[in-house]
């Protein structure tokens, strides 16, 4: 996994955990929906790293679901999420300006669900 992709995955995981307790299955599904091709073992490695750094906390398993872990972003994780979002945004702007390059049609990823889509950038440029 490339460093930039790993950073983007971290940002997504921290963002998912901001508003809800998220299971590893929910996180993996959300990442795959956004176009990341991640294996469960790779996700576990990233989650373990985030837990080890205190950015994500492990929550108690819901009643009736022994052994099922859910995760939530900690206050330190919220701060890290904001910092990483700014860093990725700055990098994107420095590399691409206000226009993101179009995705090749065969990729099949709909960027309308992205935090900042190509259309958002075009609207910002027109303002």
Residue 87 has pLDDT above 70, yes or no: yes
Residue 115 has pLDDT above 50, yes or no: no
Domain ranges of the chain: 3-98
57 three-class SS? strand
Q: How far is CA 118 from CA 19, 27, 94, 109, in A?
A: 25, 24, 15, 12
CATH 1.10.10.10 at 3-98, yes or no: yes
Cβ–Cβ contacts within 10 Å for residue 61, how many? 13
Residue-level pLDDT at 86: 86
In 3D, which of 124, 116, 123 has the Cα closest to residue 15? Answer: 116
Residue-level pLDDT at 84: 86
**pTM beyond cutoff 0.75:** no
* Cβ-contact 67, 56 below 8 angstroms: no
Per-residue pLDDT averaged across 44-53, rounded? 94
Residue-level pLDDT at 85: 84
Percent of residues, the chain, with pLDDT higher than 90: 20
Percent of residues, the chain, with pLDDT higher than 70: 71
67-83: pLDDT as tens digits = 678 899 999 999 998 88
User: Using the 8-state DSSP alphabet, how is residue 4 labeled?
Assistant: H
Per-residue pLDDT averaged across 80-103, rounded? 80
pLDDT band at 95 (very low <50, low <70, confident <90, very high): confident
């Amino acid at each position: 996994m490339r460093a930039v992709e790993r950073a983007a995955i971290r940002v997504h995981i921290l963002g998912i955990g901001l508003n809800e307790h998220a299971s590893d299955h929910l996180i993996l599904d959300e990442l795959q929906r956004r176009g990341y091709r991640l294996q469960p073992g790779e996700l576990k490695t990233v989650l373990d790293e985030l837990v080890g750094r205190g950015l994500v906390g492990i929550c108690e398993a819901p009643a009736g679901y022994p052994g099922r872990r859910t995760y939530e972003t900690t206050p330190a994780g919220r701060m890290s999420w904001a910092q990483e979002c700014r860093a990725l945004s700055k990098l994107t702007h420095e590399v691409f300006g206000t226009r993101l390059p179009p995705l090749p049609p065969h990729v099949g990823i709909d960027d309308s669900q992205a935090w900042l889509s190509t259309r958002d950038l075009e609207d910002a440029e027109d303002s």
